[in-house]
Chains A and B, each alone.
Chain A
């Protein structure tokens, strides 16, 4: 938390201040999924619009566009944030990770594998946002409890799965990231025995 204000004083006042008129486009350098991207966009464009319409990264979905569903979630500065409510020009120079950036080289992220395997993605519309939120959780807490998972994903609506498969997939991915041989539990695969 930025409690220590002094630490940052060195940064030049002029370089930090910026103004943009409403008509002309702004030229920005964005750091998306580890790559530097140059875009020219209107000052009032949201990160969601620039990701989908300019950078053609359509993995990030648009739903309500009002902060009420979570499907547009990306990681900004390592934290899940809603791209529909972020001004692109506020994101300049800050690390952005979208669902396209979760894979590790050619291999999907363990979360993505677990989601596919356990049917945690049905229509899939909520999945990119949920994967980003879950990735941030696992970065901070490699062995989250069910309650921590519920809480971390409480800003992402899913209309298909009923959430249970999603929670189980996050748990499986967390276990696999420590032990690649980890298998889904009996209950996950076949339901609870009576």
Chain B
């Protein structure tokens, strides 16, 4: 059996209590929501927190509130299946719905939460292995060792940001509320991430994700396309998130983010700029795809060959934008 290491367990009923325990225990403590990322990691001895703080009993961290006109508030401990079933999410933020629906399997989505997905540990073939396997290669820089086996000269870890919701939340301009004993701060989703496979979040270890807010959905259309080997179970090898706001037929604002191609989600700024002020046609979409795909610089630490993954970025950007479609197209892409 692969057993969990020992830990002390707390299940506080309020956010205040959870923050107080986290503050008191320092970096030895971690929070756990669904555990679908943390428990496998603990079984492989990637993380061995002395104290775990379960969030399941904190009602104030769950649910979806708001409206497409005012924007949504999503509790980070909301189970992914419950979000999939929310008509607010499905009808008005279809890109977010698609990202959630593509995560792992229906059974894991009955357990995992969106907050856990946002904070998902970065992934690498040399890291996501059990303790004995890792010991056999003398470990790596991200955990227990000091060499990076993907790029031995590198002084940063290149483990991949593999969250499906991260790129679409960045594209929507979502805001993340972080709560600690010291107070509350709210940051843009894109500022939560850092291009460092080890220290991949700007969140401090005493901070708890307490809320995710999405701006009003009015006139935004969105989509998410994901590349992976199997249609279930597998993490993204590439994720493309697209959000477009139209003014009549003309693109007023475009946001295009790539997931799983780097240590953090990547914004395709040039491609975004190329769409603004124009119609979404085969030609403008092709141009955006051509500008976006050089940003994908995959390294050899996930699935599939490098050149093919890079080439697929172009196709997936094109598909994501075709799916968004011009306003009024019948695809149910939001508003």
Contact = CB atoms under 8 A, between A and B. Distances in A.
Nearest to A7: B59
Interface string B105-126: 1111011000000000000000
B91 to A, nearest CB: 15
A185 interface: no
B36 interface: yes
A22 B8 contact: yes
Contacts of B104: 67, 155
Chain A: interface size category: 35 or more
B59 A2 contact: yes
Contacts of A42: 6
B107 A44 contact: no
A85 interface: yes
A86 B44 CA distance: 16
Contacts of B233: 68, 154-155, 157
Contacts of A73: 107
Given A17-B17, A65-B1, A82 B65 contact: no
Given A44-B3, A67-B40, A68-B233, A21 B106 contact: no
B14 interface: yes
A80 B108 CA distance: 9
Contacts of B10: 17-20
Contacts of A19: 8-11
Nearest to A133: B107
Interface residues of B, number: 46
A73 B10 CA distance: 25
Contacts of B43: 65-66
Interface in A28-53: 42-46, 49
Interface string B66-87: 0000000000001001100110
A152 B105 CA distance: 9
Interface string B125-169: 000000000000000000000000000000000000000000000
Given A17-B17, A90-B54, A151 B111 contact: no
Contact of A13 (B13, B40, B108): B13
Contacts of B62: 2, 5
A153 to B, nearest CB: 9
Contacts of A90: 11, 54, 56
B271 to A, nearest CB: 33
B111 A152 contact: no
A52 B28 CA distance: 31
A70 B105 CA distance: 9
Interface string A86-113: 1101100000000000000000000000
A22 B6 contact: yes
B108 A82 contact: yes
A175 B44 CA distance: 44
A73 B6 CA distance: 24
Q: What 8 A-B pairs have minimum CB-CB distances, sorted nearest first?
A: A155-B105, A155-B107, A154-B232, A16-B13, A22-B6, A1-B82, A66-B40, A44-B4
Interface of A: 1-5, 8-9, 11, 13, 16-23, 42-46, 49, 62, 65-68, 70, 73, 79-82, 85-87, 89-90, 133, 151-152, 154-157
10 contacts: A1-B78, A9-B59, A13-B14, A45-B3, A45-B4, A49-B1, A65-B2, A68-B233, A80-B110, A155-B108
